[in-house]
Amino acid sequence: MVIVDQQMIKLKDPNRKDRPMQNNASNDLTLVIGSSGKTGGRIVQRLAKAGRAVRLGSRSANVPFDWHDPSNWPAVLKGVKSVYIPYYPDLAVAEAPGHLTQLMEACKAAGVEKAVLLSGRGEVNAQKCEQVVRDSGLRYTLLRAGWFNQNFDEGHFLGSVLEGVIALPIGQSVEPFVDCDDIADVAFAALANEKHDGELYELTGPELLSMDRVAEILSDAVGHAVRYMPISFEEHEAGLTKHMGPVFAKFLTDLMREVMDGRNEWLGDGVQRALGREPKPFAVYAEQVAMTGIWSKPRRSLKSRVKGLVQRQGPGRCKASSRRSCHAGGAGKAAAQAV
């Protein structure tokens, strides 16, 4: 019976604190925060398919979960044994460690036993949040993810793909894009099996890709030319400021500076260690998405594409927990100069 409750080779983490093994019975209730998100939605599907009780954690749930309103947390956590935790808008924001500390305390008070945290690679503040979970007294698994493949069909890069221009201030940096299905598979395994307790999994795809290479792969899959347009950090921030204000624009730009300085230009083995298989290549992801037809909309003129680029790339939003799903466009001035 599927239950969805609307209300309601091993490298160990060097900082893990070993605890006695505990079994997760199949009827234990799991809270999935961000249950409508790119990873959360997939985890809900996997838990439900396995017949495990699931509580949806979102602001639209019967009993809403909101990071800025802890008054509902006791009701949301009632009866929960394990919880999947992404953080919105990103673990890099200053208040994230404080919110995580509050949540861990609420989890302990509610009798929650296991926490699975979605974290970000190379983010100093995200590592502070990881330490909060380690020190919570709960069993835990930490998932550090690279940029999501799904940025290009479920996120705000969709508009860029359709318009044929992806504008970012990352130069020729390379990124090991990871598929959300791989993240969800690892998260499900961590929630369902105590053998993943205390693990830190670096989740990446199987290859390092420049944005030029990403554009080539997308061009082949989409059926029209997609190109990468390098822009400056100043142009990026200015483009975002017009649509989301100076504070959030500066936050996103500073985060881009932090994580795209080369520190993440290496492949993790988290998918392989957790699941015993290789992660999905970006080209396979692109082929699968192309078959859905989401990239089959007619192309627009260059001037129309540039106008849309500024409009659609500006009001981006970060994924829950880390910039992997963050729309970091804002071509603005650089796009206008390309006309």
Query: Residue 35 pLDDT > 70, yes or no?
Result: yes
Q: What domains lie within the chain, and their CATH numbers?
A: 4-147+178-203 (3.40.50.720)
Question: Closest Cα to residue 285, out of 338, 218, 331?
Answer: 218
Whole-number Å distance between alpha carbons of 264 and 124: 12
Query: Residue 272 pLDDT > 90, yes or no?
Result: yes
Query: Residue 320 pLDDT > 50, yes or no?
Result: no
Tell which wins on pLDDT, 109 or 332. 109
Residue 298: exposure state from Cβ atoms within 10 A (0-12, 13-18, ≥19): exposed
Question: Closest Cα to residue 34, out of 139, 116, 140?
Answer: 116
User: In this structure, what DSSP letter does residue 319 have?
Assistant: P
pLDDT digits (tens, 9 = 90+) for 60-119: 999 999 999 999 999 999 999 999 999 998 999 999 999 999 999 999 999 999 999 999
- Mean pLDDT for all residues in the chain: 84
Whole-number Å distance between alpha carbons of 120 and 170: 17
243 pLDDT tier (thresholds 50, 70, 90): confident
Q: What is the structure's pLDDT at 297? A: 65
How many Cβ atoms sit within 10 Å of the Cβ of residue 124? 11
- In angstroms, the Cα distances linking 169 to 61, 74, 120, 209 are 37, 42, 19, 15
Q: Looking at 208-212, 258-262, 288-292, which range is the least confident one?
A: 258-262
| Strand-pair category, 174-175 with 139-145 | unpaired
10 pLDDT tier (thresholds 50, 70, 90): very low
The answer to whether 244 touches 178, Cβ cutoff 8 Å, is no
> Rounded mean pLDDT of 200-220?
98
Question: Closest Cα to residue 154, out of 336, 332, 299, 324?
Answer: 324
Q: What is the structure's pLDDT at 44? A: 98
How many Cβ atoms sit within 10 Å of the Cβ of residue 50? 13
pLDDT digits (tens, 9 = 90+) for 132-162: 999 999 999 999 999 999 999 998 799 999 9
Work out the angle at residue 64's Cα, subtended by the Cα atoms of residues 58 and 66, and round it to the nearest 5 degrees.
70
Q: Looking at 179-193, 205-219, 271-285, 325-339, which range is the least confident one?
A: 325-339
Q: What is the structure's pLDDT at 19? A: 41
State percent of the chain over pLDDT 90. 72
Whole-number Å distance between alpha carbons of 167 and 113: 43
To the nearest 10°, report the CA torsion of 110, 193, 126, 65.
-40
Q: Looking at 32-41, 232-241, 274-283, 316-325, which range is the least confident one?
A: 316-325
Q: What is the structure's pLDDT at 13? A: 53
Whole-number Å distance between alpha carbons of 298 and 163: 9
The answer to whether 168 touches 236, Cβ cutoff 8 Å, is yes
> Rounded mean pLDDT of 282-297?
94
Q: Rounded to a whole number, what is the largest CA-CA distance in the chain?
A: 63
Question: 3-state SS of the chain: helix, strand, coil percent to 5?
Answer: 45, 15, 45
Residue 325 backbone phi and psi in degrees, to 5: -110, 15
How many Cβ atoms sit within 10 Å of the Cβ of residue 245? 10
Residue 141 backbone phi and psi in degrees, to 5: -135, 135
Query: Residue 7 pLDDT > 60, yes or no?
Result: no
> Rounded mean pLDDT of 284-300?
87
Q: Looking at 21-25, 49-53, 200-204, which range is the least confident one?
A: 21-25
- In angstroms, the Cα distances linking 44 to 48, 54, 163, 212, 215 are 6, 7, 32, 34, 31
Whole-number Å distance between alpha carbons of 329 and 315: 9
Q: What is the structure's pLDDT at 248? A: 87
